[in-house]
Amino acid sequence: MGYQLSEKVRGLKPYTPVAGRCAVRLDANESFVALPPDLRRKIYQAAKKADFRRYPDHKAAKCCKAFAAYYGIQPGCLTAGSGSDELISLILNGFFSRGEKIALAEPDFSMYEFYARGAELEMVRYQKRADYRIDPVELAALVRQENCRGLIFSNPCNPTSQGLRKMAVRNLVRSLPETLIILDEAYMDFWNQTLLTEVEDYDNLIILRTCSKAISSAALRLGFAAAAKKLTKALGALKSPYNVNSLTQEAGTVILKRQDVLREALTDILAGRGFLAGALAKLEQDWAGSPWAFHLLPESRTNFVAICFPAKETQDRMFQYLKSKSVLVRNLPGILRVTVGAPEENQLFLEAFKSAQASGLS
């Protein structure tokens, strides 16, 4: 018969972004803010210093130091990774054994299930409330009831844009001392409820952060795991020796040191979010009772907004209509996710979105 694939990889399909060209791409939650020319020149200068004959620094020490300085934490609590995706895979495969239970709060980032399946973990699913919020008391009760060894969730959440305040997350971590909590704060730059400065107070908490959203560096594939000493030591032993390449380390260090640039970019993204959310909230009222009626999930804590339609067919029609207008957003189960773009991109999206009402495609 020849070699047979293992059951866990049979039927897996590779991640495939939407193909084709669109004038406005608001589907990937990247930053629309380009790095300024002077900073790009410094990146190129730093890259020239890289010794291509040698392996990179296995600890990515300079990069971790720059990240720690930006966020006001100790570099010794950090592990750098090739994007937070690598770190999620590393944690789920390294900290858990086959068949152990891990809790997921749904809906959430789809890759949690992908990596949990690859690690052959049993998934326990917590269903969020109708408003897509987490009830931390209910979640903790489920984790205890099912004897879960781990819990992973994003805060703020992708794809719902909703967030759980740090007091609630803090209480959740404290209430589950025997459970490893993997807290994905990929979008926390856009909110102020991080537990990052407290992470070393807990021996059951790993916080994930990324440079792909607010830091305009998705191309670098650079992420960080923050944790107390015992967990950080274990992560260092589990990861591959040279997992973050030298060019990424050099560029990441230069970018993270430019706090002025990063904070200005964040201000621009938040302003764009306010504009987009405000315009859609007005449309939500204006379109109430119409064939295109929708609900905008309130108080986005991310760099995107989440739109819900009463019927899947309506959501799919809107997605295809926008695409026909060369505007690409993300079509997810129950949610149309729209990344904040540059001002002109937000305007083009809104014009296309509004024109659906007069299109006759109700």
Does residue 9 lie in a domain region?
Answer: no
- Please identify, among 257, 273, 299, the residue that sits at the C-terminal boundary of a domain: 257
- Please write the tens of the pLDDT for every residue from 106-160: 999 999 999 999 999 999 999 999 999 999 999 999 999 999 999 999 999 999 9
- Please identify, among 202, 223, 257, the residue that sits at the C-terminal boundary of a domain: 257
Mean pLDDT of 226-249: 97
Note whether 241 and 278 are same-domain residues. no
- Please identify, among 225, 257, 289, the residue that sits at the C-terminal boundary of a domain: 257
Output phi, psi for 253, to 5 deg: -65, -45
Does residue 186 lie in a domain region?
Answer: yes
CATH at 305:
3.90.1150.10
Note whether 213 and 78 are same-domain residues. yes
Note whether 152 and 60 are same-domain residues. yes
How many structural domains are present in the chain? Answer: 2
- Percent of the chain predicted with pLDDT > 90: 92
**CA 278 to CA 23: how far, in whole Å?**
23
- pLDDT at residue 261 in the model: 97
CATH at 71:
3.40.640.10
For CA atoms 154, 70, 193, 268, give the dihedral sign. negative
**CA 33 to CA 55: how far, in whole Å?**
31
Write out the residue range of the structural domain in which residue 335 sits. Answer: 24-30+261-358
Mean pLDDT of 225-240: 97
pTM (two decimals): 0.96
Q: Is 150 helix (H, G, I), strand (E, B) or coil?
A: strand
- pLDDT at residue 145 in the model: 98
Note whether 118 and 191 are same-domain residues. yes
The position carrying tokens 């795991």 is: 225
Residue 312: pLDDT band (50, 70, 90) is very high
Note whether 247 and 272 are same-domain residues. no
Does residue 6 lie in a domain region?
Answer: no
The alpha carbon of residue 49 and the mean position of all alpha carbons in its chain are separated, in whole angstroms, by 31
Residue 4, pLDDT above cutoff 90: no
Does residue 10 lie in a domain region?
Answer: no
- pLDDT at residue 13 in the model: 80
CB contact at 8 A, 304 and 339? yes
- Please write the tens of the pLDDT for every residue from 41-53: 999 999 998 899 9
Output phi, psi for 57, to 5 deg: -60, 120
Tell me which amino acid residue 275 is: F
Note whether 211 and 267 are same-domain residues. no
**Mean pLDDT for the chain overall:** 95
Q: Is 339 helix (H, G, I), strand (E, B) or coil?
A: strand
Note whether 139 and 67 are same-domain residues. yes
